[in-house]
Structure 1
Amino acid sequence: MTPNQIGFALLYLGLFLLIGKWIRVRVKWMQNLFLPSAVIGGFLALLLGPQVLGNIMQNFTGEDSFWATGLLSQTILDVWTPLAGLMINVVFASLFLGTILPNLKKIWNIGGPQLAFGWTLGWGQYVFGLLLAILVLVPFYDMPPFIGTLIEIGFEGGHGTAAGLQGTFEDLGFTEAYDLAIGLATVGILSGVIIGIIAINWGVRRGKTKVISNVQDAPALRKAGIIEFEDRDAAAKMTVRPESIEPLSLHFAMIGLAILVGYALLQGITWLEGVLFGSEFMTYVPLFPLAMVGGILVQITAMKFDKVNILDRQMVMRIQGFALDILILSAIATVSLDVIGEYIVPFLLLATVGILWNGFGLFYLAPRMIPSYWLERGIGDFGQSMGITATGLLLMRVADPEMKSPAYEGFGYKQLIFEPFLGGGLVTALSAPLVVQLGPIPFLILAAVMLVLGLAFGLFYFGKMKS
């Protein structure tokens, strides 16, 4: 593979992102669903690639023809396949860079209800996923027990987490788990957005919302994913002079430093485990959760020594958003439809259990666990539990476009405690190896205890704060 081939494959990514955005602007029903352009572009690339268009054209042109791979050559797919696993390190290293880390008391008071609710949803995905695996998927479909962790990995963790665990799944001897997890992540985003929009409309009609009166009254530009002219403030601040270093370059370098710190931590922990215990458990752990830890350490250091605040959170978020777009498009475009087709019944069972649990959480648990603005706040945690943080933020933006409720602040504070563990954190990264090492029952017991803990705090502590 030559540098020119790699560069051309990356240009193709940009092309499909642009086409996805154009479709979002032109197609009304996609606007009403607020589908991200990366998801649209990813699906289009999947349809135009070898698995759909290529298979169709082979029947007419033969397996050796130009059209046998559709409009995407195998070289392009070879470049795209590892991108998601690389970009997830950028996403997680960026989570806390440029933020002010508040004290735990403020996090608890404002973000506590959403933390309890999100914690309940996340651990519940493990509980019901493992029960499904133990009772159905292992005995009837001969699948490994860790398959029960894929609901949380795919839904809560999303495409990036699933991609980051590809090597782990290979080491655990069931490579098909990667494609199933990517498929679940795709189902999670789509169903999360659809159910979320339906829930907000239902809440408006039933008087459950306190901020908006009609979702469909959103401005046309906002539906198309375009910022209104009067709201086009600077997306990032120039904290350093470009003649010394381009601000984008500086922030990219800081994110790279966070990833390197995470890599050093991972190598050190792996070496220490081998020396002290002679085991190799940490070799199953991907880099991205440690990249998040590296980001926290870099941020703490910056807060202590950087007196001129050169780190701009908005600039970091732009880099993070770029990495997330590349991640989602490449992950969807390269998912194996053959694997999903082979395991279609287990796949549908996992997806159905995850959707039902999260739906139960939103409509039944959220009103009882979140003392005020339960729909505006709960919809964000529901969106994250279905399809990563971006989906949660999207739904909160629909439910509370002017940020009049405590939803955004509570969601942000919740992330500081939630993300290091679930939704792509250490627990998510370690769950499948732990199930393999310890067996499904011990991890199921742990998940059940954590679920009960979240329910207890949500229902009997925060839920009782209602006036």
Structure 2
Amino acid sequence: MTVASLFSDMILIGVFMLAGFFVREIVKPIQKLFLPASLIGGLLALILGQQMLGLVEIPESFSKFSNVLIAPIMAALLFGVTINKKKVVGYMDYICVEQGIYGMQMAVGAALGALLAVLWPGLPKGWGTMGVFAFQGGHGNAGAAGQTYENLGIPENLSVGMVLATFGLIMAMLVGMVVVNIGVRKGWTKFVKDAQKQPDWYYGGVLPEEKRSSIGSTVTSSIGINHLALQGGWLLAAVYAGRLLIKAVGLVWPGVSVLPTVIQGILGGAIIWNLAKAVKLDRYIDVKTIKHVSGFLLEVVVLTAMATLDIELISTYIVPIVIYTAICCALTLAMSLGFCKLFCKEEWFEKALMAFGVGTGNTATGLALVRAVDPDSNSSAPDNHGIYSAVMCWKEAFAGLIPMWTMSGIGMTVGVGGVMCAICIIVGCILFVRPSRKTA
């Protein structure tokens, strides 16, 4: 790939990104499902490309973007991660539920995928492990895990992950809004008596002037360096630090070279952020800008991955994929409602909506469901999830580890996921389910 060809690819990406955005603006029902413009643009590219209509030539290099860009995307997750011990203790009820769901999706997803592969023998190896990434982290984590599988010789799992992530988003909003209305009628909500209809700008269109916010803050004079260049430098330095660490460890343990770029990004992000804090250089880092840079890269990954979906594979195995999605999402809903009601003394329904939205779509869908029953943003559910994301940021490493475990079978994934789920439920029961004094 030359610089010229890369620029040509970016031009095409930009065109389809805009096309996806305006389709989303015009077709209002798409907005209510929270389908991003990058996903829609990728589907347009897929339809117009060689696999279908053949009107546009989609470059082969599109399939390689995720492998390169996943490292800085994952590195950005570690910037700004701070843990408040008091909040960790106070929000342990939600942490137990959400991490328990994560473990369940690991174990059940891997086992269910193996079972369905018996009925549909042509399914790619380890495809069932993609569910936890697609449902918990959306298209970004699905792309990370899928890219690791591609490096291991199973490229089909990237397509499976993207489809599962899309189905998860749809399930999150369709099922989630049904649950919202049931909860309101039954009086489970704390802040409203009727499900709130959001204003049109919440889903799409131009934001009102008073609702617009900056995408970051400059930290030094532009005479010395452009703000975006400075923040991009921090992010790329994190990737470089991760590579150096892997190379250094490789001098002692050659086997470390098999670790995917996902792990390099996570390690590098942790190193650079914590090192900058230790030497007081974090004042030159604007986390908000770094998250936006990462968000842009993620949009590119989603669009290019969708544009290069394996149509033949997906159309052949759509039935097991739908069955898998329905079962995993049903279990996620049951755990969200059941254990939040059991563990959470305050706002159990709002926390359950957050857990379900995050566990089937992404953070945005979780926030959207909570907002439907909390229009004035009084609920602590979003804050709970923020603390959970900080405390459990280490789980992002599974996007690199699980595909490697799967090469020798699903036993490790099922075992680790099952133990994780069991520990979370047991801890939750010990801490939050106590017999009443009369019973005692």
The answer to whether the superposition gives a TM-score over 0.5 is yes
Higher alpha-carbon deviation: 199-208 or 250-259 = 199-208
**Pair 1:159-2:133 in alignment:** no
Aligned residues between the structures = 436
Q: Can you list the C-alpha shifts for 1:311-354, whole angstroms capped at 9, x where unaligned?
A: 12221222122122222222222211111123334323322332
CA distance in 2, matches of 1:336, 1:144: 12
| Counterpart in the other structure of 1:440 | 410
**Pair 1:236-2:226 in alignment:** no
- Structure 2 CA distance for partners of 1:442 and 1:3, relative to 1, 3 Å: closer
Higher alpha-carbon deviation: 132-141 or 11-20 = 132-141
User: Could you tell me whether the CA contact under 8 Å between 1:107 and 1:414 is conserved in 2?
Assistant: no
Letter in 2 for 1:73: E
| Counterpart in the other structure of 1:20 | 20
CA distance in 1, matches of 2:202, 2:6: 35
- Structure 2 CA distance for partners of 1:341 and 1:465, relative to 1, 3 Å: farther
Higher alpha-carbon deviation: 119-128 or 177-186 = 177-186
Letter in 2 for 1:209: T
Shift of 1:298: 1.5
1:59-78 aligned at under 5 Å gives the runs 69-70=54-55, 72-75=56-59, 78=60
Q: Can you list the C-alpha shifts for 1:75-116, whole angstroms capped at 9, x where unaligned?
A: 2xx2322222333222221113245x134x224223322221
Higher alpha-carbon deviation: 245-254 or 206-215 = 206-215
Letter in 2 for 1:381: A
Shift of 1:171: 5.2
- Aligned residue for 2:78, secondary structure, equals coil
CA distance in 2, matches of 1:18, 1:127: 39
- Structure 2 CA distance for partners of 1:109 and 1:148, relative to 1, 3 Å: same
**Pair 1:417-2:375 in alignment:** no
- Structure 2 CA distance for partners of 1:21 and 1:213, relative to 1, 3 Å: farther
User: Could you tell me whether the CA contact under 8 Å between 1:32 and 1:223 is conserved in 2?
Assistant: yes
| Counterpart in the other structure of 1:330 | 304
CA distance in 2, matches of 1:347, 1:213: 37
User: Could you tell me whether the CA contact under 8 Å between 1:84 and 1:160 is conserved in 2?
Assistant: no
Q: Can you list the C-alpha shifts for 1:178-227, whole angstroms capped at 9, x where unaligned?
A: 22222212222222233233333333333322234555521121222543
User: Could you tell me whether the CA contact under 8 Å between 2:67 and 2:261 is conserved in 1?
Assistant: no
1:321 to 295, 299, 305: 295
User: Could you tell me whether the CA contact under 8 Å between 1:35 and 1:193 is conserved in 2?
Assistant: no
User: Could you tell me whether the CA contact under 8 Å between 2:149 and 2:155 is conserved in 1?
Assistant: yes
User: Could you tell me whether the CA contact under 8 Å between 1:159 and 1:331 is conserved in 2?
Assistant: no
User: Could you tell me whether the CA contact under 8 Å between 1:119 and 1:451 is conserved in 2?
Assistant: yes
| Counterpart in the other structure of 2:230 | 250
**Pair 1:8-2:8 in alignment:** yes
RMSD: 2.8
User: Could you tell me whether the CA contact under 8 Å between 1:98 and 1:299 is conserved in 2?
Assistant: yes
**Pair 1:293-2:249 in alignment:** no
- Aligned residue for 1:420, secondary structure, equals helix
- Structure 2 CA distance for partners of 1:166 and 1:248, relative to 1, 3 Å: same
CA distance in 2, matches of 1:7, 1:29: 34
1:127 to 98, 107, 130: 107
User: Could you tell me whether the CA contact under 8 Å between 2:176 and 2:369 is conserved in 1?
Assistant: yes
- Aligned residue for 2:243, secondary structure, equals helix
Shift of 1:244: 0.9
1:370 to 336, 344, 366: 344
CA distance in 1, matches of 2:320, 2:410: 17
| Counterpart in the other structure of 2:32 | 32
Letter in 1 for 2:109: G
Gaps of 5+ in 1: 55-68, 275-279
| Counterpart in the other structure of 2:424 | 454
User: Could you tell me whether the CA contact under 8 Å between 2:45 and 2:307 is conserved in 1?
Assistant: yes
- Aligned residue for 1:272, secondary structure, equals coil
User: Could you tell me whether the CA contact under 8 Å between 1:203 and 1:375 is conserved in 2?
Assistant: yes
- Aligned residue for 2:177, secondary structure, equals helix
User: Could you tell me whether the CA contact under 8 Å between 2:110 and 2:414 is conserved in 1?
Assistant: yes
Shift of 1:16: 2.2
Taking structure 2 as the reference length, the TM-score comes to 0.89
Shift of 1:416: 1.8
**Pair 1:117-2:97 in alignment:** yes
CA distance in 2, matches of 1:244, 1:86: 29
**Pair 1:92-2:74 in alignment:** yes
